[in-house]
Amino acid sequence: MKRDIGQLSNYDDADGSRRKRQKQVGASSGQAATGTATNGDIQMDTGEGSSSGVAGLKEQGTKLWQMFKDVVNKECYIWSPAFMRLTSKRHYPDYYVYIQQPICLADIKQKIDDGLYNSLDDIRQDCDFCFSNAKKYNQKNSQIWLDAKKFMPVIVHTK
């Protein structure tokens, strides 16, 4: 049973506020993420020369995660709520049979915070899994499928 956007009810923004631009993260170290959190090209600092080791990777990973969380389209629709948490095993038990490596943005954030990534490319790869899983499971041209499709080029543009 594939899920349709009408069945999605886990939107996190209860107050209705929607940001059009990415928050600047890392201002205390003099760094800021560049670009806006829209469907345009987004440049990420590689972390080389400015931060080092696990702390630098956590900072860059958090910037990348925050950018995915805050991306909006021209109508100010936030793309990320459907990807923040995994689907319910009770409501969609076939998801966990069909999808071999389930992952969501909340899992990625937890792994960043726990220092479980070795590189920014590893974080990008998990983001790619998240959106690829959504495209694989959901009905083609459903809102979730379309949002996942829109995220795919955003991953490429963050390199």
Report helix, strand and coil shares of the chain as percent, to nearest 5.
45, 0, 50
Of 98 and 46, the structure prediction assigns the larger pLDDT to 98
How far from 114 is each of 9, 35, 107, 110, 156, CA to CA, in Å?
Answer: 28, 27, 10, 6, 25
Predicted local confidence at residue 2, as pLDDT: 57
Q: 15: which DSSP letter?
A: T
Q: Which span out of 39-43, 73-77, 126-130 was modeled with the highest average pLDDT?
A: 126-130
Give the pLDDT band of residue 18 (cuts 50, 70, 90).
Answer: very low
Predicted local confidence at residue 14, as pLDDT: 40
CA neighbor of 107 nearest in space, from 2, 136, 99:
99
| pTM > 0.85 | no
Query: Distance between CA atoms of 113 and 115, rounded to whole angstroms?
Result: 5
